[in-house]
Amino acid sequence: MGDFHLRCSECGREYAEDPARLVCEACSGMQEPGGSTRGVLEVEMTGLPERWPDFGSSDPRFLADFLPVKDPQSFPVFAAGGTSLMRARRLAGERGLDRLWIKDDSRNPSGSTKDRASLLVAAKAGEYGLDTVAAASTGNAGTALAAVGAAADLAAVVFVPATAPEAKLVQMLSYGARVIPVDGTYDDAFELCLAACREFGWYNRNTALNPFTIEGKKTAALEIARTMAPDVPDVVVIPTGDGVILAGVAKGFADLAASGLIDRIPRLLAVQPEGSAAIVRAWAAGAHDSEPVRGAHSIADSLTVEAPRNARLCLRRLRETGGAAVSVSDAEILSSIPRLASRTGVFAEPAAAAALAGLAAALKAGLVDKTESVVLLITGSGLKDVPAAARAVTRPGPVEPTLEAVSARLAL
C-alpha cells in the first residue's frame, strides 16, 4: 500500500499513475512496429517496508505493503503466489551442486506464474473502475487473466495464437473469457490486442506494456528472499520469452535491497529455446536491444516470441545483476520434463522445464559454479501441455489383468 509513481526505464521521466498511460510519452516516439516496447514504465515505490511482513499464507494482502495498491481489499479473492520453495537434493546431487531449490510456480491457481501479474492488474482495474481487461498471450497470461477475471467479476478478452496448447484454450474458455484465437503468431496477437484496446477502450494487460505486469511478477522474488533469509541465492534461473518475468524478479530483489531487507542481489540467468533466442543472441552480441527472430519456433510455446517486448529492460537487468543468457535445444527441454518430475515431484510444462536445461547449459559454460546456491523458477504446470510431455516418455501398452502378465512385464 505504499505510495508510488511510474518511472520510464529508458529516460527516467516520472509519471503519476493513469490507466490510459502504459508507456513513456517521450520514448514511445521511438517505437518501431513489432519491435521491443520503448519507454517501458516501472513502478517506483516510496516507503517500502523495512521489516518482513508475515506472509506464510498465499493471501496477496500479506504483500500489499510492497505493491502499488491503495487498499489490500483491492485484491480479488484469488490465491496467486505463496508457492513452495523446495530444496531439490536429488537433482542437486546429479548436477554436482550443493544447494538447489525449486520455486514451484506451477502451484498458482491457473497453473502458472502469470497469475501473479494478472492479480495485480485486476486489482488496479478494480481501483480504476474498469470492467474489461484484454491481453495478448501465448496462453498462460491469458489463462491467468481469465481466471482472476472470473474471481473478480471482470470481463477478460484474450488474444491468443490459434496454435496455443489445447489445455490453455480450454482453461480460459472454462473461466468464461472471451477468447479470440488469432490466425498468426503471438506477435500478431500482441499487435491486434493493442489495436483492439485502443478501439474498444479496454484496459490492456499486455506484458511489457502494462507496468503492473512487471510489478506483479516481483512477488516471486519477495517470496524467495523471505523464505531463504538471511541468505540470498547466488543465481536465479528464469525461463524467458518477452523478458517480463526476469524484469519482475529483478525488480523484487531491487526493492528488497532498497528497503535494506537483503544485502545483495542474485545473478539472473535467462533461458531461451534455440529456436526463439532473440535475447540470448543480443546478450552474446553485447547489444542493448534484440533483433526479431522471424519464424521463431519451439516446443516451449510460452517462450516462443519473435520480438521479445521487454528485451531492452531484460538485457539491462542481466547486465546489472551480473547475469547471463543461455539457449537450450527443444530436445534438452523435453528431456528435462521427466528428469525434473522424477527427481522432485514437480511436473513442468516445456517452458518451465527449460530452467533445468538452462542450468545444465550454464554449468557447462562455467556461468554457474557448483558451490553456488541456485533457484530454478518453474513457471508453469506440465498439465498445460500434456502432448509435449508425452513426447519425452514411453507409454507402456496394456497388460492382461493377471499377476502373470504383471510379472512378465516387470521382467522386461
Smallest distance, Zn ion to C-beta of residue 29, A: 9
Q: Could you write out the DSSP letters of every residue in 231-261?
A: ---SEEEEE-SSSHHHHHHHHHHHHHHHTTS
Smallest distance, Zn ion to C-beta of residue 28, A: 8
Smallest distance, Zn ion to C-beta of residue 283, A: 23
> With respect to Zn ion, which residue has the nearer C-beta, 42 or 306?
42
Smallest distance, Zn ion to C-beta of residue 5, A: 13
> With respect to Zn ion, which residue has the nearer C-beta, 11 or 284?
11
CB 266 within 8 A of CB 232: yes
d(C-alpha 194, C-alpha 34), whole Å: 11
> With respect to Zn ion, which residue has the nearer C-beta, 12 or 286?
12
Residue (of 271, 250, 248) closest to 262 by Cα position: 250
SS3 271: strand
Residue (of 247, 237, 239) closest to 214 by Cα position: 247
**Cell numbers found for residue 89:** 537434493
Smallest distance, Zn ion to C-beta of residue 278, A: 22
Centre a 10 Å sphere on the Cβ of residue 284 and count the other Cβ atoms it contains: 13
d(C-alpha 205, C-alpha 193), whole Å: 9
**Chain residues that interact with Zn ion, rule: CB under 5 A:** 8, 10-11, 13, 24, 26-27, 39
> With respect to Zn ion, which residue has the nearer C-beta, 21 or 89?
21
Smallest distance, Zn ion to C-beta of residue 355, A: 32
d(C-alpha 96, C-alpha 99), whole Å: 9
Smallest distance, Zn ion to C-beta of residue 313, A: 12
Smallest distance, Zn ion to C-beta of residue 39, A: 4
> With respect to Zn ion, which residue has the nearer C-beta, 309 or 384?
309
Sequence-ordered strand ranges (E) for 62-150: 85-87, 99-104, 132-136
The C-alpha R_g of the chain, in whole angstroms, comes to 21
> With respect to Zn ion, which residue has the nearer C-beta, 27 or 232?
27
> With respect to Zn ion, which residue has the nearer C-beta, 40 or 307?
40
> With respect to Zn ion, which residue has the nearer C-beta, 11 or 405?
11
**Cell numbers found for residue 364:** 557447462
Give CA separation, 103 vs 17, 23, 91, in Å: 31, 30, 14
Give the β-pairing of 267-273 and 324-328.
parallel
87 strand-pairing partners: 101
